Structure 1
Amino acid sequence: MSSIVHRPIHLALRPALTWIDTWQGPDNGLIRCWEIGRERAVKHPDIARRCLAGELPVLGWKGGVERTLKKREKFGSLKYLAQWQGLRGEDLQIDTSAELTLSCSRTGMVVTFTPDQSKYYNPQVEIED
């Protein structure tokens, strides 16, 4: 089974799917996150412009950055990356077996998007000094 989730930007959004088909299907919700990003780009072109400029704004998944933190590196969700690609108007292209590191053009924070949820899930509040 391929670890690449790909969907071209020219394809129409999918019709409503069941929760199970959307979030527990072979792509684990990445396509839906990307579609949400495409929808948000139309409703919020300012956010889409920020993403196109290389910013990593706060979205619904871990990975966005509001400001520069002491620790300038963090981990983020592949679901964030999928939504970000949709906001940018790009094809969905994610390797679910690999990490991808991006730097926010506004804050300089470095975010590594990872399939390993234990790297970005922290039950304690993140300290942002």
Structure 2
Amino acid sequence: MTQRIHRTIDNPLRTGLNRDALWEDHDKGLIKCWEIGRQRATRFPDVAQQCLAGELPVLGWKGGVSRSLKKLEKYGSLKYLAQWQGLRGEDLDIDLATERALTCSRTKMVVTFTPDRTKYFNQVAEVEA
């Protein structure tokens, strides 16, 4: 069984699903996060432009950066990565078994998106640089 979650941007948004189907299924809610990103790209084109420019703006999941910190590396949620891909108008393409690092074009912070919640859940709060 593959651990890769993939949907093309051509797929319509899903409707009529219950909470378990949206958040507890095999994709762990990543498809829903991606769909939310697609919807927000229309409602918030400025945020979509930031994402397209390679920025990692603060969203509803751990992973966004508002400024540079003393430590230029941090961990983020795969749900953030899914929403970010949706905001960019990209296909959803996430492997649940691997980490993926991205560098914010604005702050130069490196965020490693990981399936391991313990890496980002208890991170030290942001400290001014």
Relative to the length of structure 2, the TM-score reads 0.97
| Matches for 1:75-114 after TM superposition, within 5 Å | 75-114=75-114
Structure 1: 5+ residue runs without aligned partners? Answer: none
1:10 matched residue in structure 2: 10
CA-based RMSD of the aligned residues comes to: 1.0
Look up the SS of the partner of 2:22 in the other structure.
helix
Deviations 1:31-64 (A, max 9, x none): 0000000000000000000000000000000000
1:38 matched residue in structure 2: 38
2:127 matched residue in structure 1: 128
Number of equivalences: 128
Look up the SS of the partner of 2:97 in the other structure.
coil
CA distance in 1, matches of 2:90, 2:2: 20
CA distance in 2, matches of 1:16, 1:47: 28
CA distance in 1, matches of 2:99, 2:6: 16
> Structure 1 residue 16: deviation in Å?
3.1
1:63 matched residue in structure 2: 63
Deviations 1:95-121 (A, max 9, x none): 000000000000000000000000000
Deviations 1:55-79 (A, max 9, x none): 0000000000000000110000000
CA distance in 1, matches of 2:54, 2:35: 19
> Structure 1 residue 127: deviation in Å?
4.0
> Structure 1 residue 15: deviation in Å?
0.5
CA distance change for structure 1 residues 127 and 51 in 2, over 3 Å: closer, same or farther? Answer: closer
CA distance in 2, matches of 1:17, 1:70: 43
CA distance in 2, matches of 1:8, 1:45: 20
CA distance change for structure 1 residues 55 and 127 in 2, over 3 Å: closer, same or farther? Answer: closer
Identity in percent: 64
CA distance in 1, matches of 2:34, 2:126: 29
Structure 2: 5+ residue runs without aligned partners? Answer: none
CA distance in 1, matches of 2:36, 2:16: 12
